[in-house]
Amino acid sequence: MTESGWEFLPDRAIWWPSESTLIVSDLHLGKAAHFRRHGIAVPNAVNANTLERLSALVSSHRPRRLLVLGDLFHSEENREWLEFQAWLASLNAELWFDEFRLVEGNHDILHPSAFEGMRLERSAQWSLGVWFFAHDPADLVNLPDGMHGVAGHLHPALSLVGKGRQSLKLPCWWYSAERRTLVVPTFGTFTGSVSVKPQEGDACWVTTGDAVVPVPVKGITR
């Protein structure tokens, strides 16, 4: 979004240089352990991969603020929460950022005691400048004039079809002109995605993992 000065990063994050803020959503840490507890074999490496990717972005951009738009952790506390605590403690030891803020989502059900001693701010919503942040886009209706919303939750992706009927589904950022809201892709490695249906006047960008590409709405499968 050129007018905002934001940079969409191929690894499904947003860099906001003027505020030195790194924005991610829907990490769903602990989801692999949750599935394993219910008899579904999911490798623990997916949790480590999410944290490694986030570490790489923090290291390369050195943000003063890390903003997570909900669903940081997938379920009840499990051993992968301990891995996250150790990861955060290692970053705090190096004073990587001044503020770590979680805008809580529907999966953020951990008891407040789980956050004791952690340098992490939690809130249901948050705003800065003309931007209003929430987890669910449904919570961003009736925005004040001049304000724009930013949310996650939907795990948005675009389904694209080529001339030879090739099809491809890629994570995306979707700006709804009607709602004045940007929906961001999931950051977590083990999350899945849902195809969205942009309308005329909307804007979309997909990530291939190596590059971010704007996509004309008329080229999107409905």
What average pLDDT does the structure give for the chain? Answer: 86
Q: Can you tell me which residue has the tokens 């939907």? A: 154
Class of domain 2-219: alpha beta
Mean pLDDT, residues 117-144 taken together: 93
- Choice among 48-62, 85-99, 151-165 with the minimum mean pLDDT: 85-99
> What is the rounded average pLDDT of the residues 139-162?
92
Q: CB burial class (10 A; 0-12, 13-18, 19+) of residue 3?
A: exposed
* pLDDT at 38 (0 to 100): 47
Least confident of 57-66, 88-97, 191-200: 88-97
Q: Tell me: pLDDT of 191 over 50.
A: yes
Q: Note whether 70 and 140 are within 8 A (CB).
A: no
- pTM for this one? 0.89
Range among 26-35, 70-79, 111-120, 180-189 with highest mean pLDDT value: 180-189
pLDDT at 42: 55
- What is the C-alpha to C-alpha distance for residues 124 and 192, in angstroms, rounded to an integer? 24
CA distance 56 to 206: 21
Tell me, what amino acid is at 104?
E
Check: CB of residue 44 under 8 Å from CB of residue 55.
no
pLDDT at residue 32 greater than cutoff 60: no
Q: Within a 10 A sphere around the Cβ of 14, how many other Cβ atoms?
A: 22
What mean pLDDT is predicted for residues 151-166? 85
Q: What stretch of H or E contains 93?
A: helix 79-93
| Confidence at residue 80, expressed as pLDDT on a 0 to 100 scale | 76
Q: What 8-state DSSP symbol labels residue 29?
A: B
